[in-house]
Amino acid sequence: MPEKQTVILCGKSLLIDGLALKLKNNNEFEVLMAVDVAEAGQRIESVKPAAIIVDSSKGENYFETLVHRYPSENIIAVNPENSDALVYSRSKLDCFDDLKKMFKDHA
């Protein structure tokens, strides 16, 4: 059985609770909850998460704060109002093919 990937969910909303339930029911993920950025930071420092997911509809600047404080992490802001997802991921590009792969991965 492959090792579970850790995902940190940041914020308190029905969207975050729904994502937590969906991810917990999937055997591929371990879900850690964080009420705010400070708690997310504590979680980030104790584990290497596959992603940190925040609800961007709440008006808090969690996404921007996390990107600023943890630029090497994969941070995803989701908005239930318009189904948008904003993804920040620092990727290392060693060659042009890496750049093309990034385009395909996000298309």
Domain boundaries along the sequence of the chain:
5-105
| 30, 6 Cβ separation under 8 angstroms | yes
Count Cβ atoms below 10 Å from residue 13 Cβ, excluding itself. Answer: 14
Distance of CA 67 to the CA centre of its chain: 10
User: Over its length of 107 residues, how does the chain's per-residue pLDDT go in tens digits?
Assistant: 678 899 999 988 899 999 999 999 988 999 999 999 999 999 999 999 999 999 888 767 888 899 999 988 999 999 888 878 888 877 666 777 877 777 777 65
Parallel, antiparallel or unpaired: strands 5-10 and 51-55: parallel
Helix spans in 1-107 (H): 14-24, 37-46, 62-69, 96-105
5-105 in CATH: which number? 3.40.50.2300
